[in-house]
Amino acid sequence: MKNLLKPTRREFIKVVGLSGSGLFLASYIPFQDVLAKAVDEPKIFTPNVYLRINSDGVVTIIFHRSELGQGVKTALPMLVAEELEVDWEKIVIEQSDADTKYGNQTTGGSTSIRLNYDPLRIAGATARVMLITAAASRWNVPPENCYAENGFVINKLNNEKLGYGELVEDASKLPVPKNVKLKDPKDFKLIGKRIHRIDTPDKIHGIAKFGIDIVIPGMYYAAVSRCPVFGGKVKSFDATKTKSLPGIKGVYQISRGVAVVADSTWRAFNGRDALEITWDYGKYANINSVDIHNELLKHSKEDGYEFEGKGDVNKKPEEGEQAIESIYEVPFLSHSPMEPMDCVAKVENGKAELWVPSQSPQDARTQVANALSISEEKVTAHITLMGGGFGRRHVNDYAVEAAEISKASGNPVKLTWTREEDTKFGWYRPPSMNVLKGSVSKDGKPLKFSHHVIAPSIIQMRFAPNLPPAQYDIKEGAVGLQYQIPNLRISGTTISTHVPISWYRSVYNSQNPFASECFIDELAHAANKDPYEFRRDMLPDDSRLKNVLIVAAEKSGWGTPLPKDKGRGIAIAECYESYNAQVAEITVESNKIKVDRYVVVVDCGVVVNPDIMEAQMQGAIAFALSGALKGEITIKNGGVEQSNFDDYEILTYNEMPKVEVYYIKNFYKVGGIGEVGMAACPPALCNAIFAATGKRIRKLPIHLS
């Protein structure tokens, strides 16, 4: 990968001057600049916002999403490069800023590949067609007689070739074609290959710049003190002690607390800790976890709004019908990416410039514009690398804080949160309670299944208080089950909570399938059936989910004997257009769980990069196991009790199981891979615990004994 500088402004101007109205014009270039042509500067071909080729042949692909570890900074450019027919080793990949011209830049819901699989291939193919047309015209042959390969257009008749760089000027004059033909998947050269990630060397060499590593001229360092109770605010504060400390540049009240600006991070932290603040704790200062549990419990007695129904789950039982009922419960969880929240902001002359590790950089612009009462066009958001996100970096509260501090202090600042702040001021995975009821017939056939989800709704709490029940997000991962059960009811009730909640990797798929897939296991045992066969026999024959289930059973050796104290558990899930089956193999000794092995089978349609897909599955197992085995955020006196990795533990190296990943090779519509591995992991684990010990786990995190 060449590491070239961005083209200078003048280079870009020159292209615009040449390219005429048929091509994309960067809207921020003032007209007088367009006229300022320079004679000897390289020309650039920019048929769309996702790529540019300059006259020395350098191909730059614009990466317009956020890289937080999931590999899209490699996988998305692969899509452009595939159709553009360029040498992957020679392209330059450039991170874009936040800009509406790229469409949706929100990196969440496993959408990066799903939403861009076609548009980015079209972007590459469009450029390829234009370059071929330009070459054909120069050779005076029909374009059909030419093809593109490795950054060259080749004349089939005489093997004459022209490099893309030589065609830049001619191609720029052509109209941008519509409806270009994309490659046949059998001709793919990059898609489906284990291409190395472009970001690995800089990351492991310590060179890569994450948000927390950004330094800009004249920058100071900032820290914030916030009310420990959600919803509380500053009543008054005394900064005398803080101001007596060395290196303190200022103390400012901002919308969420009190900020200290200093000449180093450590001094900012110390200055913040020396503040004497009297808080108005607000109306939630007496709320504890037990209150939230009781609220969930209260609503668990209701029927809930029916999302899906079939037959009659209240039908009079038939002879020999066996009914069971269970309640499953999960807690708040914190995303806790390894890089805590941070943002560099420079606010001056009515403009703001951000260097922000955000999964929603366009929203960062909006939020900062609103906070500063300026228009969005006045906010530039540079997207940095980020040390994990898992959904936390969709909420740009840290960017707003940084911008407010920069404005108040009149200096560029880097705001850094401590781990304790990250843990205590998160936007947590919501807790839920799940009432599961079901029955099986005398001969072990499923008869009834109902799942009532009681949970706070992220959409309702954050965006739409009057959200119609049919649109409750809490149904995600609970509805759409493929099991053929004659009487079925999926319903939900939302509760409100003062604790901030947001999207956590796989969102409600991190909790609803835990309840339903453990309960399906309970039904299988009630029916005296093997849990794998019970599932398989309930799934339609053409189901992709059934297929991954069968493969998982085969690969895991399902049914083969295991030593004493060991157990296997199986679970399936559909998540963001991908299908997944998992088998967990565990050992339980003296009430201690050791997770030995996971077999993960995924059908996500087209696999753009198998190595990255496998990494996402391995990572999802670790992330989901952290939650299932350890994760719990509790509320005391209205705030979060936990503070660091000692009381909010995550999985460690020694606890990581062997993970075998298998995938179904096909060219179906591309599904998501960043989150699908989360859903089946906890139920497979808990079903394995039952197999090993006879203990049914219905509450996370798992406590044996």
Partner 1 sequence: MPRYIITVNNKKKTVEVDEGTPLVWVLRDSLGLTGTKYGCGEGICGACTIHIDGKAERSCILSIEDVGESSITTIEGLVENPEYPIFKKWIELEVSQCGYCQPGQIMTLAALLQQNPKPSRKEIDDAMNSVLCRCGTYYRIKQAVDELVEEQS
Nearer to partner 1, 200 or 528 (CB): 200
DSSP state letter for 647: T
Nearer to partner 1, 390 or 428 (CB): 390
Q: How far is the CB of 348 from partner 1 (least distance, A)?
A: 23
Q: How far is the CB of 625 from partner 1 (least distance, A)?
A: 8
Nearer to partner 1, 333 or 545 (CB): 333
Q: How far is the CB of 599 from partner 1 (least distance, A)?
A: 13
Q: How far is the CB of 197 from partner 1 (least distance, A)?
A: 6
Nearer to partner 1, 28 or 266 (CB): 266
For residue 36, which phi and psi values (nearest 5 degrees)?
Answer: -80, 70
Contacts of 459 by beta carbon, 8 Å cutoff, 6+ apart: 467, 471, 472, 473
| β-strands 592-603, 658-663 pairing | parallel
Q: Which two tokens stand for residue 540?
A: 């339609």
Q: How far is the CB of 265 from partner 1 (least distance, A)?
A: 5
Nearer to partner 1, 160 or 660 (CB): 660
Q: How far is the CB of 397 from partner 1 (least distance, A)?
A: 19
Q: How far is the CB of 226 from partner 1 (least distance, A)?
A: 17
Q: Is 335 helix (H, G, I), strand (E, B) or coil?
A: coil
CA–CA dist 211, 340 (Å, integer): 10
Check if the beta carbon of residue 213 is closer than 8 Å to that of residue 414. no
Within 10 angstroms of residue 102's Cβ, the number of other Cβ atoms is: 19
Nearer to partner 1, 71 or 257 (CB): 71
Q: How far is the CB of 239 from partner 1 (least distance, A)?
A: 18
Strand locations in 471-591 (E): 487-495, 566-575, 578-589
For residue 538, which phi and psi values (nearest 5 degrees)?
Answer: -95, -5
Nearer to partner 1, 174 or 507 (CB): 507
Nearer to partner 1, 208 or 479 (CB): 208
Terminal CA-CA length for the chain: 54
Nearer to partner 1, 39 or 207 (CB): 207
Check if the beta carbon of residue 249 is closer than 8 Å to that of residue 261. yes
Q: How far is the CB of 419 from partner 1 (least distance, A)?
A: 4
Among 165, 177, 63, 172, CA closest to 120:
63
For residue 246, which phi and psi values (nearest 5 degrees)?
Answer: -70, 145
Nearer to partner 1, 154 or 612 (CB): 612
Q: Is 485 helix (H, G, I), strand (E, B) or coil?
A: coil
Nearer to partner 1, 456 or 672 (CB): 672
Among 224, 216, 126, CA closest to 175:
126
Among 177, 182, 308, 283, CA closest to 233:
283
For residue 92, which phi and psi values (nearest 5 degrees)?
Answer: -110, 130
Q: How far is the CB of 617 from partner 1 (least distance, A)?
A: 10
Residues of the chain by 3-state class (helix, strand, coil), percent to 5: 35, 25, 40
CA–CA dist 244, 241 (Å, integer): 5
Nearer to partner 1, 253 or 644 (CB): 644
Q: Which two tokens stand for residue 4?
A: 């070239």
422-425 long-range Cβ contacts below 8 angstroms, 24+ apart: 422/334, 422/336, 422/337, 422/340, 422/341, 423/334, 423/336, 423/633, 423/640, 423/642, 423/643, 423/644, 423/648, 424/228, 424/639, 424/640, 424/642, 424/643, 425/226, 425/397, 425/640
Q: How far is the CB of 387 from partner 1 (least distance, A)?
A: 3
Residues that bind partner 1 (CB under 8 A): 68-71, 196-197, 199-201, 203-210, 212-213, 215, 221, 246-247, 264-267, 270, 336-340, 385-390, 416, 418-420, 611-612, 615, 618-623, 626, 644-646, 650-654, 656-659
